Each structure stands twice: as C-alpha cells, then as structure tokens.
Structure 1
Amino acid sequence: MFDLITEYLQSINPVLAAFYATVFTWLLTALGASFVFLFKTMSRVVLDGMLGFTGGVMVAASYWSLLAPAIEMSEGEGFVKVMPSVVGFLLGALFLFALDKVLPHVHINFKETEGVKSPWQRTTLLVLAITLHNIPEGLAVGVLFGGVAAGIPEASIAGAAILAIGIGLQNFPEGIAVAMPLRRMGMSRRKSFMYGQASALVEPVAGVLGALAVAFFTPVLPYALAFAAGAMIFVVVEEVIPETQQDKNTDIATLGFIGGFVVMMTLDVALG
C-alpha cells in the first residue's frame, strides 16, 4: 500500500504532491473532530494520552524527518556543516515564539489566554492556538516535497510521505482536542466539528508555500527543514507537554509521548 502511494506521488508534480499530502493531514484532523457526532465528552485521561502521543510524534519527526536530513545535505565539516541547521532551528523556534506572544489564543483547558488582548470569543482563540501548531507541520511536509522537486538526493518522496502519515496520525487527537471542549461548553455538534477541522486548514497552505519556496530556491532547504523542526519542538515544549500536565494523568501522558515517538521513529526508519 505504501509503495503504491509513493509511486503515485512520484508520478505527479511535487508541489501538487505536497498539497495532496497536507490535505490528507487535514482530513485526519477532520476525522478526529467528527467524534463530536458520537460523544459529547471524552475522558481527560484519554485526551492527555492522545496529546502525549502527539508530542512524541512531533519530536521524533523533528529529528528523523527534518534535522537529520538537513544536517546530512549541508556542505562542509564540523561546525560549518551543522550551522544551517542551527540557524534554521533557532529561527523556527523564534518565529513560533513571536506568534505565541502576538497572536491572541487560548489553550485547551480554557484557563490561559495568551497574546495581545482581543475581544474575540474564546472558541476562536482556541482554534487559533491549534492553528499555531499546524503551521510548522504543513511547512515540514511541504519543504520535503520541495526538496524532491529541486532534485536534492537526501529528499525523497518516501520520506515526505512518511512525515505526512506521522503528522496525520498526530492530527487525529488534535481534532478531538479542539472539538470536544467546544461541545462540552454547549456548542452544537456541527459547529464544534467545523471549528475542529478548521484548525488544520492552514496545513495545505503552508505545505504548498514551503514546497514552492524550496523548489525555486534550493539552498534554503536545510534551513527550511531545521526551521520546521525548531517550530515543532517549540510547540511541544511550550504547549503540548504542559497541557498534559494540568491534571493527574502525567504517567498516561508520558506513556503516550513514548508511544508516539516510537511509532514515528519506526515509520521513518523502516519505510524511509
């Protein structure tokens, strides 16, 4: 099945392939959000375990799918070879740090509002918070497909497809994490679903922009891969992990994190 997917993606324009791959990650978010049609609430234990899984996938993807290829394709030796990844990683983290301080948003627990003061409803602020997560994820998939378009040997369709699958797997609980709190607040099932899936609509946009940028300016690829990794790590440390520590389910969240890390590592090493 995986071979059929990669063969098809190889047969089309890599930028279009990036669009299809990020649409897939959005669909997994929508699938998670659709759980509001089946349940009104979800156990906090389950949610924390799912969020832990999300964090594990993101950390594993940041290294095996992004940082390792970025370092491998950089020229030079020693400090010279690692510098593009260092610069890109720092820029990615600082970019998300700036957005986190400027863009108004609220966390899943609805207890903390961050960014500039805004009259927007808390439901909108929650969607914006998850949208922040999805920008680097879409970008990560896009830049890998852009590297394929540019003919970079270290960038492969298989690697990009694996990353898309991993991002999709962790988007599923994110869709639940947005839609369920809204449903619990009394919002209709339909609106809760619409808000939940909308949080990932930015991924196809970021994916296509990332693919186009790398395809037309090849030297930026190591920086772009590390940029996406830095942004994803920032999200995990700043929001995903702290969110799982709000209740008494820290052990479940930790095991979920380990499980997500192992799944993504296995996918990348076994299929990449």
Structure 2
Amino acid sequence: MAEWLLQANPILLALLATLFTWSCTAFGASFVFTTEEASPKLFDAMLAFAGGVMIAASFWSLLDPAIEMVKEQGIPPYIPAAFGFLLGGMFLLMVDRVLPLINENMYFKDITSGRAKQRTAKLVLSITLHNIPEGLAVGVAFGILAIDFSTNALYGAIALAIGIGIQNIPEGIAVSVPLRREGLSVKKSFFYGQLSGMVEPIAAIIGAIAVYFMEPLLPYALSFAAGAMLFVVVKDIIPASHERGNVLLATMSLLFGFVLMMVLDLAFG
C-alpha cells in the first residue's frame, strides 16, 4: 500500500488527503441535523484540542522537516525557517485585514437581524480563511514526496492530514449550528458549514504544485504553512475556546491534542 502511495502523483495525494479533511468538516456540520445548540463545554474542548493538534503539526510536520532540509544544503537552518514562518503569519494578518466582507444580505437573507447577518458572515468568512493555510500545509507536506520518496515523508503527511481532519470537526459545528440558531434552514446551515472546508482541496493543490515545480522553495513553503497555522491558533482558536469561561478544560484539551498529534507524527513519520 505504501509503495503504491509513494508512486502516486503527489498533487493527487494532496487532493485526496484534503477531500478527507473536507469530509471531516462536513461531518461536523452534519451535527446541525441532530441539535440546534452545541454544548459550550464540548465545543470549547474540541476547539482547544484542535489548537493543540495544529501547534504540534506546525513543528513536527512542517518546521522540523524544513530545518532538516536546509541543513543538508549547508546554509544556516534558521534563515529559511524564520523567514518563511514570519511570512506565513504576516500573510494571514494581511488577509484578515484586507479581504472585504462577503455580502451578508445576499447570502444570509433568511436572517432578519442586520447585526446577526454581519456576525454570521464574519464567522463563516473567518473559518473559511482559516482553512486556507491548513490546505496549503497538507499540500506542501504531500508535495515533499516529489523530492523525498520515503515512507517517513508519506506517514508524516498522512499524520498531518489526520490531525487537521480532527480539528475540522469542531469547525464544521462552529459554522452550521450558529447559522441554524440565527434562523437559517437545516439544509442551508449544513451547506454553509461544509462549504467552509472546501477551500482546503484548492489550497492543497496550489501548495503541492508550488513544491512540485519549485523545489528550492520547499523549506520556505513548509515554514510559511507553519507560521500561518500558528497565527490561526494564537489569534482565534485559543481565545475562542476561553471566551465562555472553560479555561481549564480548554487548556487540558489543548495539551491532549498536542500530545496526540506529536505521537501520530513521531510514530508514523
């Protein structure tokens, strides 16, 4: 099985992996069919757990491989890692500030309150934006297979996809359940919930193609994805998991998420 995967096109593997992560988002969004209100404690625990998974993935699946690649090139390993990492964070900051707000009146016309429309639109847009660096990270991780045809690289990429898939479940819930609560139909709430994860396959293809055709940029691309992921965790995921007062629960969940991803990456990657 591993041999077949190693012989497959890395771009195709990146697409398949992010179709899996998207399906996890859709699974989370499907909770709207059974409940209109997510348990605050469960939601915060899942969100923080996802943050821990992303923190661990940003190092073991992205930054560490980038540093090792640069060591083999004979240049100071901290230069591409630091530059790419900061560039990834700054890119997300720029996108967060510059990207115009979607037309909430067009997409959420079923919601009568203007303030609720704007809040809902920001929520959907925010989570959709967060899925871009996650898709890029998976794409870059599988793109490495075009250069490093090893089971270590393969299992590392698979572990990253599994970790991101796990953290996509609460994201799907975070979009669909509030939409339903604001008055959208169950079907529309599910549609927008799963739609937020569909940017990941697109971003993954872009990341894999970039690595496939621009090998010297690989350490920078890996570090860029790591910086973007950590920006999302620190700016949004951790604060959101604390805002309802479940700080201790969220903290412990983050630690467990970190440990799980670390074990997955070290055991299989």
TM-score by length of 2: 0.89
Which of residues 141, 146, 152 in structure 2 aligns to 1:144? Answer: 141
Which of residues 249, 259, 262 in structure 1 aligns to 2:259? Answer: 262
Which of residues 233, 242, 248 in structure 2 aligns to 1:236? Answer: 233
1:71 aligned onto 2:67: yes
1:47 aligned onto 2:43: yes
Deviation at 1:155, TM superposition (A): 7.0
Structure 2 match to 1:210: 207
Deviation at 1:198, TM superposition (A): 0.7
Between the aligned residues of both structures, percent identity stands at 56
Distance, in Å, in 2 between the alignment partners of 1:22 and 1:151 is: 20
Q: Say whether the 8 Å CA contact 2:140–2:204 is kept in structure 1.
A: yes
Q: Say whether the 8 Å CA contact 1:69–1:155 is kept in structure 2.
A: no
Structure 2 match to 1:246: 243
3-state SS of the aligned residue for 1:75?
helix
Q: Say whether the 8 Å CA contact 1:50–1:173 is kept in structure 2.
A: yes
Question: Which is helix-richer, 1 or 2?
Answer: 2
Which stretches of structure 1, 4 residues or more, deviate above 6 A after TM superposition?
76-79, 152-155
1:97 aligned onto 2:93: yes
Structure 1 match to 2:106: none
Gapped regions of structure 2 (runs ≥ 5)? 103-116
Distance, in Å, in 2 between the alignment partners of 1:13 and 1:79 is: 30
Distance, in Å, in 2 between the alignment partners of 1:46 and 1:105 is: 29
Q: Say whether the 8 Å CA contact 2:11–2:143 is kept in structure 1.
A: yes
Distance, in Å, in 1 between the alignment partners of 2:74 and 2:211 is: 25
Deviation at 1:63, TM superposition (A): 0.6
Distance, in Å, in 2 between the alignment partners of 1:246 and 1:176 is: 17
Which of residues 74, 84, 87 in structure 2 aligns to 1:88? Answer: 84
Cα RMSD of the aligned pairs, angstroms, is 2.0
Deviation at 1:104, TM superposition (A): 4.6
Distance, in Å, in 2 between the alignment partners of 1:261 and 1:69 is: 18
Distance, in Å, in 2 between the alignment partners of 1:153 and 1:100 is: 37
Q: How does 1:177-216 map to 2 (within 5 A)?
A: 177-216=174-213
Structure 1 match to 2:108: none
Q: Letter of the 1:249 partner, please give it.
A: N
Distance, in Å, in 2 between the alignment partners of 1:10 and 1:201 is: 25
**CA gap 1:256/1:167 in 2 versus in 1, 3 angstroms:** same
Gapped regions of structure 1 (runs ≥ 5)? 107-119
